[in-house]
Amino acid sequence: MPSPTRIAQANVTALGRRIAQSRGVALDDYAQLHRFSLEHMGEFWDHVWAFGRVIGERGSGPALRENGAMEQARWFDGARLNFAENLLRHGGDALAATFWNETGPQLRLSRTELRAAVARAARALQRLGVQPGDRVAAYLPNMPEAMVGMLGCASIGAVWSVCATDLGVDAAVDRFAQIAPVVLLLSDGACYGGRVHDARAKGLQIAAALPSVRQAVAIDYVARGPGGPDAWQGLPRWSELLARESDRTFDFERFPFAHPLYVLFTSGTTGRPKCIVHGAGGTLMKHLADHLLQFDVRPGDTIFRVTGSGWMLWNSLMSGLACDAAIVLYDGSPLQSAAIVLDIAERERVTLLGLSPQVIEHWMRHALAPAASHDLSALRCIAAGGAPLSADAAAWVHARVKADVHLASPSGGTDIVSFFVGGHPTAPTYAGQIQSAALGMAVDVYDDAGRPVRGQAGELVCTRPFPSMPLGFWGDADGSRMRAAYFETWPGVWRHGDWAEITPQGGFVIHGRSDATLKANGVRIGTAEIYAQLAGFDDILECAAVDQKHAGGLRIALFVVLAPGAVLDEALQARVRHAIAQGASPRHVPQVIYAVPELPRTSNGKCSEAALRAAIHGEPVRNEGALSNPQALAILRRFHLPTPETAGDTHA
């Protein structure tokens, strides 16, 4: 429960007060403000423009033109802005960004230093011939050059797209080739898991496979392998290009509100990666609302989100600069040491910490006591997203990390470069629940017939437009692929693909992806309900449940990665089944449990249940190169069982 002082001082309270005064209405709590944000959607986002102090030309048109179908909505017609100008508006010697990797802090940049670096980058890109609308691709980890490169692109109206260096060559080419970049930035490697990973050979292969690239540029960071200075085969260095340019103040050209800013990619494990185009204005507006209103970010705050460069959380992290906050960049594994994330949070006086539930579960397994071992007095909010957070993990955070921390669990995705549901600092949080729909987001849960339901699981949908809807998919001129992806099930309603539930308190529970739900005796079960029961098992590092075909039909198969020294014996299997039956229901209990050395993961670190399901059924895994560990599939394919239809087949 937040204190009265915290509620009174929250940004969302200030915005509600401002709207109430201007309209002469009562907006006494978040629920009333949320209702206003839906009933007066255009007016609400106009208030966000003013509250976020957007730099640009607002224009005279309405904030929102709905134009009938949801996907036809247009935001801020006539407005013009520059995304980078808004992120770089705060100058001076205050900290803008700090960079860490697994060996410790590497670099600190003031606001003035960042602005100078971006000015050089913008001019260097222009000298390479980059024009507004051109694509610049990057094969980089979460490092300062990625931040500077993105802001340089945004400064001149170019479109930024990045893949992390753990992505394979074929997977990176599958993505970049679709958008025909003219410049390609390549890092020599990255740090992860206590090792330096040399990416030079992969980078050169990617460059050779992209005929649209007029210039590839090398970034020296970590590689110490053979080849020395010739390993880049004569590519110019990014640092040298920037050193030739002036760092004088850059004159930002302002572009239409819907000018493309980013191309983000889906994971590609269930089909060809979609190239999702996000606009500068919509991204800025939604990220301002997220940071200022949902996470209560204030000037002088420090934001640390544990993310790779290819995950949409990286894009969200960048936008924290627009709130006059400093950001922390980290290249490495959050599990490299038991407490490295906490060490950074303490050292950098982090106020908003974004991480995955996996990190919290890692702390739990190692019996950490962060409240006693670390000074987290600056920490106000933990945003645990990317996967459902169990009630046990939520309770542990308040008991062992910080009693009064605002524990938010945002859920959204690459498709919207933001979140649909999350937290806010003015109401209680309930363990195992996400507090509310985000402001301006008309979120609901539908049953299979398209009817709103409460207290039972269904499809998460959004029924009204929002600023960070994609401009479209790259190469999808008639919009048919985008309509098929989001609006095919219920025309005019965005179906996100999450299996969710609205609670009696008005909160949300995400049970997992709806395409990852299980059918047990005709009842749909969210896999997250199974995983939540095993969060406290020291013997199990991670798990995944899928439907498995066998001679008797379909059964639930649970795959577990065991802790060192643990054995999947009958006693452990009995404990697992008992915990699931007691905490979820007997229908959730897996019929078989298998131990495997690892589970297939996307480049964002998420377990790919789709790849697991395909592998154990002997089916092709689509875009296998999109997995960060495709070697995991070889062992999983051994679990392919003959069924009546495949009884004549033979398998390893």
Residue reference for tokens 């983000």: 264
Query: What would the mean pLDDT of 29-51 be, rounded to a whole number?
Result: 98
Q: Are 434 and 510 in contact (CB under 8 A)?
A: yes
Sign of CA dihedral 116, 102, 163, 73: negative
Q: Is domain 517-639 given the CATH code 3.30.497.10 in the classification?
A: no
The listed range with the strongest mean pLDDT (131-140, 214-223, 628-637) is 131-140
Residue with tokens 């001149």: 156
- Could you tell me the residue ranges of all domains in the chain? 81-502, 517-639
The pLDDT of residue 190 is 94
Contacts 24+ apart (CB under 8 A), 103-109: 103/191, 105/347, 107/144, 109/144
pLDDT band for position 524 (cuts 50, 70, 90): low
Residue pair 101/330 in contact by the 8 Å Cβ criterion: yes
User: What homologous superfamily does CATH list for 81-502?
Assistant: ANL, N-terminal domain (3.40.50.12780)
The Cα–Cα gap between 545 and 484 comes to 28
Same fold: 81-502 with 517-639: no
CA–CA separation, 85 and 319 (whole Å)? 11
Of 135-149, 166-180, 210-224, 522-536, the range with the lowest mean pLDDT is: 522-536
Residue 249 CB neighbour total at 10 angstroms = 10
Which has the closest alpha carbon to 165: 151, 184, 148, 181? 184
Burial (Cβ within 10 Å: 0-12, 13-18, ≥19) of residue 117: buried
Q: Between 623 and 184, whose confidence is greater? A: 184
User: How many Cα atoms are found within 13 Å in the side-chain-facing hemisphere of 448?
Assistant: 2
Per-residue model confidence as pLDDT tens digits over 261-278: 999 998 654 557 899 999
Among 38, 36, 46, residue whose Cα is nearest residue 77:
46
Exposed e or buried b per residue across 95-115, where buried means at least 16 C-beta atoms within 10 angstroms of its C-beta: bbbbbbbbeeebeebbbebbb
Q: Are 325 and 297 in contact (CB under 8 A)?
A: yes
- Which of the four pLDDT bands, split at 50, 70 and 90, describes residue 645? very low
Q: Which helix (H) or strand (E) holds 571?
A: helix 570-583
Give the Cα separation of 109 and 122 in Å (integer). Answer: 18
Mean of the pLDDT values across residues 41-66? 97
| Residue 650 binned pLDDT confidence (cut-offs 50, 70, 90) | very low
pLDDT for 143: 98
Q: Taking the model in full, what pTM does it have?
A: 0.86
Q: What percent of the chain has pLDDT over 90?
A: 76
What's the pLDDT band for 652 if we cut at 50, 70, 90?
very low
The dihedral of CA 441, 442, 445, 449: what is its sign?
A: negative
Mean pLDDT computed over 496-519:
85
Query: Contact at 8 Å (CB) between 190 and 197?
Result: yes
- The whole-angstrom separation of Cα 88 and Cα 324 is 9
Q: CA-to-CA distance for 303 and 326, rounded, in angstroms?
A: 6
Q: What is the pLDDT of residue 396?
A: 95
Q: Which helix (H) or strand (E) holds 561?
A: strand 553-562
Q: What angle do CA 150, 151, 157 make, to 5 degrees?
A: 90
User: How high is the pLDDT of residue 230?
Assistant: 62
Find, among 614, 600, 388, the residue nearest to 501 by Cα. Answer: 388
Mean pLDDT of the chain: 92
Q: Tokens 């693909």 — which residue?
A: 497
Asked if 141 contacts 163 with a C-beta cutoff of 8 angstroms, the reply is: no
Q: How do residues 555-607 score in pLDDT, each as one tens digit? A: 899 999 999 999 999 999 999 999 998 877 777 899 999 999 999 988 777 88
